[in-house]
Chains A and B, each alone.
Chain A
């Protein structure tokens, strides 16, 4: 009986985002999958709006073909944790407090996301997040799947 209760508890706890250091991010390991790479921060409002949609993406497309990887750019990790408590994510978050990867990608706005093909090419870049463009974003993903 006790075991069952424990299992129930496990099921009841929602899936939480794993937080890694940016140094652990290996995009090459994702070859063979379509990757939606999103840069966000806790202070950026459109980023907050994109979260429910990205959570939905993870559920919508098969995990073996598609993955959402996000990079958080908060200098203060506390702000990131508070955000994730309010807005749970079911995808992995890589914390880049010094903007190392952001510098590499030369982001022009927040949020910025990249759609990466199974061969590792950046196919599309979205600057900002607009709910009115969701259909287009999904269409772009489906074209690659």
Chain B
């Protein structure tokens, strides 16, 4: 029983540390900001999809970046 708890604890710690380096650093956004990194490179198609998406989800912006941005706001 004791070893089971110990293993569970170790597994829990490992799982928790797995999320510590999530996300992109401000200086690493260059590749994400590239046009060919968009979910959909066709502007009209994307605008259409986005419109449906934010209308349904009540969230503006939706997917993708609107350019490079400084990440400071």
Contacts and interface: CB of A to CB of B under 8 A. Distances in A.
By secondary structure, the A interface counts as loop
B38 interface: no
A39 interface: yes
B70 A45 contact: yes
A129 B29 CA distance: 17
B33 A110 contact: no
Nearest to A45: B68
Interface in A56-97: 73-76, 79
A107 B68 contact: no
A118 interface: no
A30 interface: no
B30 A111 contact: no
A46 interface: yes
29 contacts: A39-B27, A41-B27, A41-B30, A43-B29, A43-B30, A43-B34, A43-B68, A44-B68, A46-B70, A73-B30, A75-B30, A75-B31, A76-B30, A99-B25, A99-B28, A102-B27, A103-B25, A107-B26, A107-B27, A108-B26, A109-B70, A109-B71, A109-B72, A110-B26, A110-B29, A111-B70, A112-B26, A127-B72, A128-B72
Given A39-B27, A42-B30, A44-B69, 10 more contacts: A41-B27, A41-B30, A45-B67, A46-B72, A99-B25, A103-B25, A108-B72, A109-B70, A128-B70, A128-B72
Q: 8 tightest CB-CB pairs across the interface, nearest first?
A: A109-B72, A128-B72, A43-B68, A73-B27, A102-B27, A43-B30, A109-B71, A110-B70
